[in-house]
Structure 1
Amino acid sequence: MDTRVVAELPAALADVLARPAAQQPAWPDPARAEEIHRALRRVPPLVTVAETERLRARLAEVARGEALVLQGGDCAETFHGNTEEHLRGNVELLRAVADVLEIGTGLPVVVLGRIAGQYAKPRSRPVDATGLPAYRGDLVNSVVPTAAARTPDPERMLRAYADAAGTLHRLRSFGGAREVFAGHEALLLGYESALVRRAGSRLYGSSGHFLWVGERTRQLDGAHVAFAALVANPVGLKIGATATPDEVLAYVRRLDPDRTPGRLTLISRMGADRVRTALPPIVARVRAAGHPVLWQCDPLHGNTETAPSGHKTRDVGRVADELRGYFDVHRALGTHPGGIHLELTGDDVTECVGDGITLGDLPARYTTACDPRLNVRQALGIAEVAAESIAR
């Protein structure tokens, strides 16, 4: 990538940043935030064009029905959790889940982590239950429940870049026969835009190989969709049960106008109660329009609930039910189900209910900075559900 041409913001990116953007922090010192953005425009890219294009080629195989994709990792990465032990545990679990899928289906599996950039989180409310500003991920503020710690701090963007670089270095050093690519939600647009790099006539987001737009920021005329349309990376879009077929078709036309296999992944997060009714008309509409999108199921976000203890949790049974419904929909329509997107960890946690974890167990080892993750046993169980459904 040519890093010499990004000292000044390209006009196309300036247009993106001028659009309405949801879920952005209110920096107390905007001038300092802009200084950091300028510094980030001059740093080396975190990922290379060659790696990103290699992922695109692998995802094209998935879009053509020749492979599957597994995406997974922490709900929210944290600076203190950025250790070799934690990363290795997550990568080993991802590879183990991929092995279950591959053995059970006979299809090769592309592994894509929620790794090296998942430092920003959208929130449903600007303040938490105590009245403090909401925790928006280590890229913005701290999970520590004090007013000072929750104040958005632009210096954290430099720490996030450094930590992501360290994570990617470790990831590459692990080796192994199964390559693990890095992806995250492109939420904080000042940070993401500052890490865009030019390669020939194309702009790439160098913060990760794969970038996605979340359910809360998918406004068609908003800045997040415009950013995803601008970069040449493979991109994803999360769609919940409120999305309509017309809306999704408009997203597809905007994000993949050239109909390139591997370019666009639609990640459904419908909930177990809605997937069998909300997803079929969307899949049918996109298929009828002839767009070669890659379909993926996130069976966790639509099944989040609050336990009596106050902990957010997910019931593994409902997660499995949404997965089965997702595969039923694609089987009925004759479309390739693509793959799965999971929040998981190799750590021994008690955050989701099922497979030996009860509501009363949740406080024992509840360490997530945001939403609950599947532990090793639960993730492997969900992999078996997916493999059985696809093989059928």
Structure 2
Amino acid sequence: MNVHEAGPKPVNLPENWAPASWQSKAAKQQPAYPDQGALNATLSELSRLPPLVTSWEILGLKRQLADAQEGKRFLLQGGDCAESFADCESGLISSRLKVLLQMSVVLVHGLRLPVVRVGRFAGQYAKPRSADLETKDGVTLPSYRGDLINAPGFDVASRTPDPRRMIEGHSRSALTMNFVRSLIDGGFADLHHPEYWDLGWVTHSPLAQEYQRRVEAIGDAVRFMEAITGESMHSANRVEFFTSHEALLLHYEQGLTRQVPRHWGWFNLSTHFPWIGMRTADLDGAHVEYLRGVRNPIAVKVGPSVTPDQLLRVVDALNPHDEPGRLTLIHRMGVGQIESVLPKLLQAVQREGRRVLWVADPMHGNTESTGNGYKTRRFENIRGELDAAFDIHAAVGTRLGGVHLELTGEDVTECLGGARDLTETDLARAYRSTVDPRLNYEQSMELAMLIVRKRGG
């Protein structure tokens, strides 16, 4: 891959844009920092720290997403609902990577397509909240907005937004990315030895045998091609991984937005693939203002309340020149609403001839609370929404080109159902998420196999 663009080229730079121009707009979901001087000092320090990703990696991902728009690749985007600083630990990172690798093996083998692997990691430290304040036992404090902003403990010191956490977030993201890159460069993702990716606790899984058959088939295929050509398939020794996170805390994103040699424009170098939700996608809002100016591929989460006209205006604002690979729309409707809402959105974008990548998030629209107080999701609803998404795209004549999931490599019991038919009483056994419930390994693999059955065979 040629990592540099060939010479200067005429471009249409966004008008009246700078990394800080979002500050002139209404900014939702932002913390109220009590010390402006401390915030300014933190931003000055953050702007001098090394970037976490490179411009050529970003442009490489954009090309792969353009291929996915044309049906030549499939996007697998997954990871924790929200990272915590305490989870920056080698075992957890490698387990998360193993789950994504195993899912991608199933998808590559079943779909006969290259898979774009994007992790929700190395920066997913901020989360939107439905309320600015939280009250317990008559005490009211700021809501926990993720480790990038404050801490989960319910006391004044923990919940007061601290700008120094952005420096800590950068450090933890850098450590995570360094470890992931080291694993991949060291052969962790070698297709000659996919058996190395096994997670020990899942050997009892009902899906283990089907996965093992696919592993053996891939190994046989690699060895066959090497026997035919007489050469080692070096491309099978490693795979590409990209990072993503919700571009929520705009001061942090601004501090890592840079210009680089040999490429025009501005890049968000905190991540390859930032996204925003519809609650922060107001056309005159700060998040759209920020994202319209960076060259990264970007995504927008699309919920059931969005109208076709709203969606088209957001598409126009974020991708006015219809650039390939630039814009991904991640629909998250809920199993009960997807059939009534999604078709008209697909038809509107299709009618205007806009080039986007459609991706399904079957997680966020299916969240509920149980009688014993746990926030959870039913696997049958997650599977049902994903199944319906494929059928709806096929009926409309559009293409579902990827999936966006909250998952973990830990042996958690946070989502009901799945291969071991987890019940409400199972939730207490291993519920570890501080924000949203995640799929465990078996549930993640089951969804990967559903995708293969719907699109591949």
TM-score if structure 1 supplies the norm length? 0.95
Distance 2:132 2:41 in 1: 25
Task: Determine if the alignment matches structure 1 residue 380 to structure 2 residue 386.
Answer: no
Deviation sequence 1:177-199 (CA, Å, 0-9, x none): 22110000000000100110103
Higher mean alpha-carbon deviation, 103-112 vs 206-215, is at 103-112
TM superposition shift of 1:11: 6.0
Task: Determine if the alignment matches structure 1 residue 210 to structure 2 residue 273.
Answer: yes
Structure 1 segment 114-193 matched on structure 2, within 5 A: 114-128=120-134, 130=136, 131-175=140-184, 176=189, 177-193=238-254
Deviation sequence 1:284-333 (CA, Å, 0-9, x none): 11111111100001100000001112111000000001001111111101
Distance 1:34 1:269 in 2: 36
Partner of 2:299: 236
How many percent identity over aligned positions?
A: 43
Distance 1:307 1:129 in 2: 21
Structure 1 segment 1-392 matched on structure 2, within 5 A: 12-128=18-134, 130=136, 131-175=140-184, 176=189, 177-199=238-260, 200-355=263-418, 356=420, 357-391=422-456
Q: Secondary structure at the match of 2:393?
A: helix
Deviation sequence 1:51-78 (CA, Å, 0-9, x none): 1111111111101111100000000000
Q: Amino acid of the residue matched to residue 172 of structure 1?
A: R
Q: Secondary structure at the match of 1:128?
A: strand
Give the conservation status (yes or no) of the 8 Å contact 1:46–1:206.
yes
Partner of 2:221: none
Q: Closer, same or farther in 2 for the Cα pair 1:108/1:82, shift >3 Å?
A: same
Q: Amino acid of the residue matched to residue 382 of structure 1?
A: L
Distance 2:159 2:348 in 1: 43
Deviation sequence 1:350-370 (CA, Å, 0-9, x none): 111012211111111111121
TM superposition shift of 1:85: 0.7
Larger radius of gyration: 2
Distance 1:109 1:330 in 2: 19
Deviation sequence 1:231-261 (CA, Å, 0-9, x none): 0000000010000111111111111111112
Distance 2:302 2:320 in 1: 19
Distance 2:362 2:104 in 1: 17
Distance 1:378 1:234 in 2: 29
TM superposition shift of 1:129: 5.2
Give the conservation status (yes or no) of the 8 Å contact 1:132–1:145.
yes
Q: Secondary structure at the match of 2:142?
A: coil
Q: Amino acid of the residue matched to residue 123 of structure 1?
A: R
Higher mean alpha-carbon deviation, 262-271 vs 355-364, is at 355-364
Q: Secondary structure at the match of 2:311?
A: helix
Higher mean alpha-carbon deviation, 130-139 vs 272-281, is at 130-139
Q: How many positions carry a matched residue from both structures?
A: 384
TM superposition shift of 1:133: 2.1
Distance 1:252 1:331 in 2: 22
Distance 2:58 2:333 in 1: 29
- Unpaired segments of 5 or more residues in structure 2? 4-15, 190-237
Q: Amino acid of the residue matched to residue 364 of structure 1?
A: R
Q: Amino acid of the residue matched to residue 286 of structure 1?
A: V
Distance 1:60 1:194 in 2: 28
Distance 2:124 2:318 in 1: 22
Distance 1:81 1:44 in 2: 22
Q: CA RMSD in A?
A: 1.4
Partner of 1:5: none
Deviation sequence 1:252-295 (CA, Å, 0-9, x none): 11111111121100000100011111111111111111111000
Give the conservation status (yes or no) of the 8 Å contact 1:269–1:297.
yes
TM superposition shift of 1:389: 1.7
Distance 2:98 2:323 in 1: 31
Q: Secondary structure at the match of 2:166?
A: helix
TM superposition shift of 1:50: 1.1
Q: Amino acid of the residue matched to residue 55 of structure 2?
A: V
TM-score if structure 2 supplies the norm length? 0.82
- Unpaired segments of 5 or more residues in structure 1? 2-9
Give the conservation status (yes or no) of the 8 Å contact 1:64–1:292.
no
Q: Amino acid of the residue matched to residue 151 of structure 2?
A: S
Distance 1:325 1:132 in 2: 41
Give the conservation status (yes or no) of the 8 Å contact 2:21–2:290.
no
Give the conservation status (yes or no) of the 8 Å contact 2:273–2:297.
yes
Give the conservation status (yes or no) of the 8 Å contact 2:17–2:293.
no
TM superposition shift of 1:34: 1.4
TM superposition shift of 1:128: 3.1
Distance 1:182 1:241 in 2: 27
Deviation sequence 1:163-213 (CA, Å, 0-9, x none): 111111011111132211000000000010011010343100000000001
